[in-house]
Amino acid sequence: MTRGASGPIVTLGESMGLLRQERPGPLHAQRQLGFGFGGAESNVAIAASRLGAPAEWIGRLGEDSVGDLIERELRAEGVTPRVVRDPDAATGLMLKERPIPDTSRVVYYRRSSAGSRLRPEDVPAGAIERAALLHVTGITPALSASASATVDAAVARARAAGVPVSLDLNYRSALWSEGEAAERLRALIAAADIVFAGDDEAAIVVGARPVPELAAALAELGPAEVVVKLGARGCFARIDGAEHERAATPVRVVDTVGAGDAFVGAYLAERVSGAPVPQRLDTAILAGAFACLHPGDWEGLPTRRDLELWRRADPVQR
């Protein structure tokens, strides 16, 4: 058994306040917006926690009410926040617009935010070393030099302690170019045990090619587990050399934002519980489907009971 296998799934990155349009249409015509929070890594932690896996999120928040909300909501979701509160920078914000039904556009206000000032010393002593797994994304290294160094330090600590490393490429074009991302992500992939990527993200790193070849090319860089997320087409995985393919669960989509994080969190929760690969992928697919049924980033993520009800009732809209 890998060292730390009984510990929590540990994630680190930036969480931000989230303003969202509740109704589709031009933003200037809206008079009310919903408010919450989101962030790829905290979304993953919540997804794992709802499925019974202990989870922790490491990050930097401002000394403001948005930071208070994020820390409080994470605790309410069973996620242990290990937070540094920054007196000199505000918690970032993002705005989710719905210009037309079933379509979202996210705008970020994060320049010089508290989260972008994450630094290696923000990661508590022992937090990585006692983890069941460390999960990072390609978002954090693109935020700033100090955030990038934090990811490297955390990964190095995990490798030294024998803790598995999970990486979701999560390429964001607003943060860096494809060329910059490809070089940086290759190094992280080489240090990871598990890699998640959309097919478009994988192509940035290894070049455009058929999905099975994308997975094989990523695996050649080092990770034993590669999962290519295909959205409405399901997923394709290459795990210890064996190939697995799953179709998506068809649903009436409300909002796809957060579905990839739900997929990842569910896969990791099943992995640390010792579930076999088919169960990991099936649960991940279902969790991603649940996320699409709700307008929030994480609010609609399923519990074990939700998944069982889904399997028994087959509520798919056909």
Active site residues: 261
Concatenate the DSSP letters of all residues of 109-173 into one string: E-TT-TGGG--GGGS-TTTTTT-SEEEEESSGGGT-HHHHHHHHHHHHHHHHHT--EEEE----T
> How does strand 16-21 pair with strand 33-38?
antiparallel
The amino acid sitting at 284 is A
How far apart, in whole angstroms, are the C-alpha atoms of residue 302 and residue 262?
9
Residues whose CB falls within 8 Å of the CB of residue 221, separated by 6 or more in sequence, listed in order: 186, 189, 190, 205, 206
SS3 174: coil
If phi > 0 it is left, if psi is from -120 to 50 it is alpha, else beta; for residue 192 that is beta
Neighbours of 22 (CB within 10 A): 10
Q: In this structure, are residues 244 and 267 in contact, taking their beta carbons and an 8 Å threshold?
A: no
Residues whose CB falls within 8 Å of the CB of residue 308, separated by 6 or more in sequence, listed in order: none
Q: In this structure, are residues 173 and 137 in contact, taking their beta carbons and an 8 Å threshold?
A: no
How far apart, in whole angstroms, are the C-alpha atoms of residue 200 and residue 202?
5
